[in-house]
Amino acid sequence: MNNKPVLNLFHKEDDFSEYLAKNLSLITSEKLTLIGTKYSVKNPRKSGADGELDILAKDDYGNFVIIEVKRSDKAARQTLNELAKYTALFMEQMGLMEENIRCFVVSTEWHELDLPLSYFRQAVSVDVKGFKALNNSGQLLLKERQLIPPQNLPRFSPETRFFHFDDHASMLLHAEEIRALTASLDGLKAALITLTPLNSNIGYRSILCIWRIQSEYSDQLKNHCKLSHNHHPYPFAGWEEEADILEWITQNSTLSLNTSRELARGTPEKIAFCAENYDFTDLFFLGGQWQKKDLINDVEQIKKNLIADSLRGYDTNRNRYRYKVKSSPKIGPAWTTVCKEISAFVAWSPFWQQNINEILSDIDSTHEIIFHATDDRHFYYRAYQACTHSEADLAFFELNIYQHNQCVCSYVGGWAWDEKTQLTQNEIVYNMLELYDSVGWQRQAIFSAVDENRYDEALLENGFWPWIVKINTQNNSGKLIITEQHPEFFNHKANLKIFLEKNPIFCQTVQRIFYDIPTKPCDGQFFNVLNHSFSVEDIHNVAALLFWKYVKVVGIEKANDDVINTSGNILFEPDGINNVLIKCNYQWIADSPLVDIFASQVKYVSLNHAEREENMYGFLSEQELTRRKTNHHSQLELDKQPVGISGIAVPQAGTLIIAPPLPAIVELSKIPQSSFIQIENTVQALGFPSMMYMKIDGIQETTDYSLAATGIFYIPVPDKETGILWREVIPNSTGIINEIYLSSDTGIRFKW
């Protein structure tokens, strides 16, 4: 009698399984780390049975490997159904995605597995490999079969929340409060991690995270928590229920400090920064979807999920500033996913993306890669950090290619200064405001959890260019990769540090803009990023107001000359910057530490307009247009109309809008066919109908339905004195007594 029925090598299947667990190298040459055997998988559905995984391991790329051992024909036929069921349960309970799972099937018989294999491959989206077990001269031999998985949806929610505390005791009391609050929620799988600061200058925090709610528990949780999807906006489409649950927990817990929504919202970037300044200490499992003994989700594993510096499947939860991955073509379709994710991460730099795509396409299954990249989208803040911390630099990537555990080639990419571009403070601040619209948003965008805008123009405006260096580690040689458009004699070593050393004005400017914002994450606990904000609109409005006030005193020609000759300083004389701003109702800017930068921008804008001989109208936003419409002026002393008019007919259009001392404008519903028009409606602004004309020199769009025309007004007047009075109301006007000449032989004549 055969005492070893399994391949004449093992007495029973358990012996076979235990042998494989101790000798994982027999299955694959890849490094596998054993997690456990007979791993219990709980079925949350009452109608279903629990399962068990024969062997659970982890490969060198962070994937979980489920190994099912089957020997008989009967067991072989059951393998695929069991594997599909157990894998699905495992992913649900652990909050994993299908692309992070690999399934190895080991069987002594395969003739009944071959037929359903193709169906199983399409039905599941995990990496499946088959191994036929053989007795090779008394030694166990496994012959590999490989299957290819597609991607699947993530299980770990991108929505997370921060809680802030004054002390450790308050943080722990809050954790117990939340645990009690969620104890009865059977359909919830969430976790709270407490963070202990590494220095006394920062406060205590905790992070609340949640896994995807299974559909069968959705209604139960909605009813219990009275969710109504009313916490808009939702930053992540498809994760509304998880966001509502987190909001419900936040609103019903009372022991944390009150903070703004922005400070409360967690992101991978914020959590990565916290990892440098906090110890991630205690883990609290919340809700009823956890196993009694979870072997996977410890503090480090959840911390890794939260930081999400590898995009593998976490499309909505990806870290926007960091990405690290180790991979190889030999792991199958997951390699294709990694290549796409790398390309997506560097897509903001087309030069990098094109070259990296070409490099990855040439890598074969004998190689593996380690890729690491950063994305520092806020150039000005990064420069501000580098003024204090010389190690701070711009975005970079490093791609190392290995063969037989030896690095055979490396690619390194970065950004370097052209060693020429040096802007003035006015040019720097002007570019900032053009890019961010306001100082307030520039300061806030640095910390925004949901802002997806790119601000890479700042790199180019300050003379920075991307580069790549290829390093052949075998002969220690290197090659610089740049484009034909790069500056001549481009030096890729001219980094941010060198740029700042050569640009002291730039250093001073960014230090003034960000003066109260920490240069390192968590240097301070709370600060108002919106303090001392001013916008492009504020600058243009003040510049126009001051210029036209000065015009009222000295006339437009002298005002223009004086602005040019004094570089705009004349506008703040003799009262001084602060007093002038207070008189203009800009008290908050007068009190700001950034008042001198604001004044400098006002002078800069005024000078540019004066040199181009362009009128300044202020910033014609929808709000400003509405405000000016409310300034009704009764100017009955100017109601002097000609008794006769002759000459060519001029099309009528628009509504007069006045706001002395600013120049008048005309609101239009559509662009007129002629650049010379008669104003159709003057009653709203003046209180009486008046004949006046406008030579349009520009049209600005203020809303989807409204246009604002700027230019010179021509007003019929009986005498020069009346023309002077009109300029008090409409500074950009000229009085016409007899005739407006439109060409050498055409015009409009008036009779008084």
Confidence of residue 752 (pLDDT cuts 50, 70, 90): confident
Those residues whose C-beta lies under 8 Å from the C-beta of residue 350, and which sit 6 or more positions away, are none
For helices 504-513 and 595-611, the axis angle rounded to 10 degrees is: 120
| Per-residue pLDDT at 131 | 86
| Dihedral-angle region of residue 95 (phi above 0 means left; psi in -120 to 50 means alpha; beta otherwise) | left
Angle separating helix axes 536-554 and 595-611, nearest 10 degrees: 60
Q: Transcribe 90-125 into DSSP letters.
A: HHHHHT--GGGEEEEEEES--TTTHHHHHHHHHH--
Percentage of the chain lying above the pLDDT 70 cut: 84
Does residue 606 contact residue 615 with C-beta atoms inside 8 Å? no
Q: Do residues 44 and 214 lie in contact, with contact meaning Cβ atoms separated by under 8 Å?
A: yes
Instruction: Classify 486 in phi/psi space as left (phi over 0), alpha (psi -120 to 50) or beta.
Output: beta
pLDDT for the residue numbered 326: 92
Q: How far is it, in rounded angstroms, from Cα 747 to Cα 740?
A: 5
What pLDDT sits at residue 733? 86
Using DSSP, how many helices (H) and how many strands (E) does the chain show?
Answer: 25, 26
Residue pLDDT, tens place only, 123-158: 667 777 888 888 888 889 988 865 433 343 456 888
CB atoms within 10 A of CB 558: 13
In the block, residue with structure tokens 């002629």? 674
How far is CA 245 from its chain centroid?
Answer: 24
CA atoms of 519 and 588, how far apart (whole Å): 25
Residue-wise pLDDT tens digits, 92-118: 888 888 888 988 888 877 666 655 555
Q: Which of 52, 41, 45 is nearest to 14 (CA)?
A: 52
34: pLDDT strictly greater than 70:
yes
Q: Which range is least confidently modeled, 149-163, 308-322, 721-735?
A: 308-322
Q: What is the Cα–Cα distance from 674 to 679, expressed in whole angstroms?
A: 12
Q: Residue 463 half-sphere exposure, CB side, CA atoms within 13 Å?
A: 22
Tokens of 270: 């914020």
| Neighbour order of strands in the sheet with 322-327 | 322-327, 367-374, 397-403, 406-417, 464-472, 477-481
Alpha helices in 495-621 (DSSP H): 496-502, 504-513, 536-554, 556-565, 577-583, 587-590, 595-611
Q: Is the peptide bond before 651 cis (omega within 30 degrees of 0)?
A: no
pLDDT at 524: 42
pLDDT for res 499:
96
Residue 150 pLDDT: 38
Give dist(CA 653, CA 677) in Å, integer: 6
Asked whether the CA dihedral 719, 721, 727, 730 is positive or negative, the reply is negative
- Name the token pair of 263: 């400070």
Two tokens at 245? 């649950």
Q: 3-class SS at 421? A: coil
pLDDT at residue 459 in the model: 95
Alpha-carbon distance of 470 to 477, in angstroms, equals 8
Indicate left, alpha or beta for 195 from its phi (over 0: left) and psi (-120 to 50: alpha). Answer: beta
d(CA 80, CA 269): 40
* Highest-pLDDT range among 272-286, 357-371, 656-670, 713-727: 357-371
Which string of b and e fits 562-576 if b means at least 16 CB within 10 Å?
bbeeeebebbbeeee
Q: 557 to each of 604, 606, 615, 656, 720, how far by Cα in Å? A: 19, 14, 11, 24, 18
Among 507, 367, 363, CA closest to 425: 507
Token pair, residue 196, equals 């202990």
Which of 681, 689, 636 minimizes the C-alpha distance to 657?
Answer: 681
pTM (2 d.p.): 0.57
- Which of the two residues, 121 and 44, has the higher pLDDT score? 44
Q: Outline which parts of the chain fall under CATH 3.40.1350.10.
A: 13-146
State in words which class domain 13-146 has: alpha beta
* pLDDT tens-digit readout, 180-229: 999 999 889 999 999 999 887 788 999 999 987 876 677 788 778 776 65
Name which residue leads in pLDDT, 126 or 680.
Answer: 680
Residues pairing with 749 in the sheet: 646, 739
pLDDT band at 617 (very low <50, low <70, confident <90, very high): low
Q: Reply yes or no: is the peptide bond before residue 116 cis, omega within 30 of 0.
A: no
Give the integer Cα–Cα distance in Å for 131 and 120. Answer: 16
Q: Which helix (H) or strand (E) holds 265?
A: strand 265-266
What pLDDT score was predicted for residue 684?
Answer: 83
More confident residue, 269 or 619: 269
- What's the DSSP call for residue 293? S
Mean pLDDT of 511-523: 71
Among 693, 700, 690, 664, residue whose Cα is nearest residue 677: 693
